[in-house]
Amino acid sequence: MLAYFTQHLLSFSVWTPILSGIAVLFTANDHKPNVTRWLALAGGILAFLVAIPLYTQFNFADGGFQFQEGFSWIPAFNINYHLGVDGIAIPLILLTSFTTVIVIISAWEVIEKRVAQYMACFLIMSGLMVGVFCALDAILYYVFWEAMLIPLFLAIGIWGGPNRVYATIKFFLYTLLGSLLMLVAFIYLYLKTGSFELMDYYRLPLPLTAQVLIFLAFFVAFAVKVPMWPVHTWLPDAHVEAPTGGSVVLAAIALKLGGYSFLRFAMPIAPDAAHYLSGFMITLSLIAIVYIALVALAQKDMKKLIAYSSISHMGFVTLGFFIFNNLGLEGAVVQMVSHGFISAAMFLCVGVLYDRVHSRQIEAYGGVANTMPVFAAFAVFFAMANSGLPATSGFVGEFMVILGAIQANFWYAFLASTTLIFGAAYTLWMIKRVFYGEIANANVAALKDLNKREFLILATLALLVLALGVYPQPLTDMTNASVTQLLSLLAQSKLPVGL
């Protein structure tokens, strides 16, 4: 039994949350929601525990895919159920499982209608996202990638804010458009290689035109998900309307799917196109970093502000990818994990306020620190982390990417570093208006400080942000070998010889 478990670690990580989600659906009874809640929590924790051996049994020296397993799934198309992870995927898988637990706890008393469906949505989504991070077969990956849209679509649409229908349909169609082009690219690659195996794609020589077209198809799919400027407009809408759990999952994990997929698919399959288009990608990243940070400065809605801040931070991730050096890539991976924690925490903070006052507008608040001192301490801490204060995880990733960028080109680094100023400006300005000053109105005066549940999740996240900021070594050790291997893959031209 134990041997079976260790041989199928990834399958367990994928299917435990999905099956517990389905089990939760069968406890649908809104009069006794606690059964559902505890069952969902048990499922979420179990899923996290199942994923932990991925870290403990990982071979740090090996940059290839580990824990591989698979069988032939649809022989008619040569599609395999093939799972495997490297050092880049594992941190993101752990992040996913962990965030799901946080989401379940954060929804505890907040979600009152259709609790079972809510919990099931997030558990199933968690399994599907883990699937995206470990699929090594293109169609398997695509199935997870697309299927994951369904629960998120429902979560935003059912439990979201007043304009939720617009936001969720926009989100779905935007993502679907990108994914379908990616599917065309996969079919093209299949016709070339006769297989949907990622490894076969890595080895396939392709002329530059084909590479550029493939890269662009992937680009549409992943840039929408990251999201990169100018296809980012669905994200603020989706964030504003999503319930807190939806925002957390979107920011902490869903965006990483796009970043991760660049590393796993677009860049190694079309390395020459990636180099060829790197100027374009870097420009888009820098626009996201600088311009979107300025947009964030102008926001009146807290969730929108954090959403724009997410886009700006994800700009760092894509910048790190396309400067093609060790420091930049590794920094980008650290930035993805760190942003997962910080943005989740920021959205949870807004959720705490929203649950009490039912407003996300900055102007509805003022002087919250007077009535909620403990909460204010957390919020200020996360705001500092978001603006990249040293000793928080936000600093590590950004700093590494900036160092990498200097190696590539001074001006990239210069423009990217402006975010340390802008980021601090929009975050701290929001904190100042919401938390400091006189108590603005009766709503704020009546606020109660954090309850135990909220304290628990914020404290956990704060510890993680701090730990990763002070001692990022476990994470970088994990990614190191894989990043080196990826870079060597990217350095090899795949153009057919003689062209």
Partner 1 sequence: MENIRYDLITALPELFIVCMAMFILLADLFLKASNRIYIYGLSQATLLAAAYLTFSNHAPSVSYAFTDAFVDDAMSDVLKLMIYLGTSLIFVYSRQYLQLRNMFRGEFYALVLFAVVGMMIMVSGQNMLTLYMGLELLSLSLYALVALDRDNARATEAAMKYFVLGALASGMLLYGMSMIYGMTGSLNIADINHALMGETKNHAVLILGLVFIVSGLAFKLGAVPFQMWVPDVYEGSPTAVTLLISSVPKLAAFAFVIRLLVQALPTLAVDWQQMLMIMAVLSIVIGNITAIAQTNLKRMLAYSTISHIGFILYGLMSASINGFVYAMFYVVSYVLMTLAGFGIILLLSRKGFEAENLEDLKGLNQRSPWVAFLMMIVMFSMAGVPPTLGFYAKFSVLQAALQAGYLWLVVFAVLMAVVGAFYYLRVIKLMYFDEPADLKPIDAPLDMRIILSVNALALLVIGLMPQSLMELCIYAVTRSLS
Give the footprint of partner 1 on residues 276-335 (CB under 8 A).
Answer: none
Query: Which range touches partner 1 (CB under 8 A), out of 90-98, 149-157, 369-377, 486-494?
Result: 149-157
Of the candidates 35, 49, 165, 445, which one interacts with partner 1 according to CB under 8 A?
A: 165
Residue 91's H or E segment, with its range, is: helix 89-106
| Min dist. Cβ of residue 201 to partner 1 (A) | 16
Of the candidates 7, 32, 64, 184, which one interacts with partner 1 according to CB under 8 A?
A: 184
Asked whether 184 and 176 are in contact (CB, 8 A), the reply is: no
Is residue 22 involved in binding partner 1 (CB under 8 A)? no
Query: Which range touches partner 1 (CB under 8 A), out of 85-93, 175-183, 364-372, 458-466?
Result: 175-183
| Min dist. Cβ of residue 20 to partner 1 (A) | 18
Distance CA 130, CA 375 (A): 31
Query: Which range touches partner 1 (CB under 8 A), out of 93-101, 135-143, 340-348, 430-438?
Result: 135-143
- Site mask, partner 1, residues 90-119, x = CB under 8 A? ---------------------------x--
Is residue 158 involved in binding partner 1 (CB under 8 A)? yes
Query: Which range touches partner 1 (CB under 8 A), out of 34-42, 63-71, 156-164, 225-233?
Result: 156-164
Neighbours of 98 (CB within 10 A): 24
| Min dist. Cβ of residue 219 to partner 1 (A) | 14
Distance CA 461, CA 258 (A): 23
Distance CA 399, CA 391 (A): 11
C-beta closer to partner 1: residue 95 or 140? 140
Of the candidates 82, 164, 433, 494, which one interacts with partner 1 according to CB under 8 A?
A: 164
Phi, psi at residue 29, to the nearest 5°?
-160, 105
**168 contacts: CB under 8 Å, gap ≥ 6:** 153, 156, 157, 160, 238, 241
Q: Name the DSSP class of 438.
A: S
Distance CA 271, CA 208 (A): 10
Is residue 187 involved in binding partner 1 (CB under 8 A)? yes
C-beta closer to partner 1: residue 187 or 456? 187
Beta strands in 75-133 (DSSP E): 79-85
Reference 483, options 34, 8, 29, 63; nearest CA is 63
Radius of gyration of the chain (CA): 22
Give the footprint of partner 1 on residues 47-76 (CB under 8 A).
Answer: 73-76
What one-letter code names the amino acid at 303? K
**73 contacts: CB under 8 Å, gap ≥ 6:** 79, 80, 81, 137, 140
**59 contacts: CB under 8 Å, gap ≥ 6:** 66
What one-letter code names the amino acid at 340? G
Is residue 150 involved in binding partner 1 (CB under 8 A)? yes
What one-letter code names the amino acid at 470? V
C-beta closer to partner 1: residue 153 or 341? 153
Is residue 143 involved in binding partner 1 (CB under 8 A)? yes
Query: Which range touches partner 1 (CB under 8 A), out of 170-178, 283-291, 370-378, 438-446?
Result: 170-178
Is residue 136 involved in binding partner 1 (CB under 8 A)? no
Residues that bind partner 1 (CB under 8 A): 28, 73-77, 117, 139, 142-143, 146-147, 149-150, 153-154, 157-158, 164-165, 168-169, 172-173, 176-177, 180-181, 183-184, 187-188, 190-191
